Amino acid sequence: MSSVLVLDSSVAVAWCFADERTPVCDAIQERLAVDEAIVPEHWFVELTNALLVGERRKRISAHDVTGFLREIGKLQIIVDDQLPHRAFENVLPLARKHRLASYDAAYLDLAIRLNIPLASLDDDLRRAAKAAGVKLLGK
């Protein structure tokens, strides 16, 4: 099975918070019950941070975070290990060109390199992906 999309953490965060969910995000989650997504190595830290901020703001309980992470663990999420090798020569120029944070440019680089769609809710990343000719999912 090959990876069918690059999964930005913004989509996974939307699965956790009802006020951020969209039908497209739900369809992506359902799709990942059978298909694979690929993520850069920092995806887990981004997701963890969003959940931690949600806990601190009382949007979610620690108990619910545990349940959510159990559900995330059932999805077929593959970690791409090329980021350390691509950060300086590929990600940095993309971040500069599209005025992105480097961690967002890593998703774009991955989608371009593998020639697969990007699932994201981040407006700046979506704009950059569109400009780079990357197919988008989300919103």
Return the pLDDT at 43. Answer: 97
pLDDT tens digit string along 60-119?
999 999 999 999 999 999 999 999 999 999 999 999 999 999 999 999 999 999 999 999
The answer to whether the beta carbons of residues 4 and 31 sit under 8 Å apart is yes
3-137 under CATH 3.40.50.1010, yes or no:
yes
pLDDT band at 5 (very low <50, low <70, confident <90, very high): very high
The pTM score is 0.92
Return the pLDDT at 2. Answer: 63
Task: Give the per-residue SS3 of the chain.
Answer: CCEEEEECHHHHHHHHCHHHCCHHHHHHHHHCCCCEEEEECCHHHHHHHHHHHHHHCCCCCHHHHHHHHHHHHCCEEEEECCHHHHHHHHHHHHHHHHCCCHHHHHHHHHHHHHCCCEECCCHHHHHHHHHCCCCEECC
Domain positions in the chain are 3-137
pLDDT at 3 over 90: no
pLDDT tens digit string along 19-46?
888 898 999 999 898 899 999 999 999 9
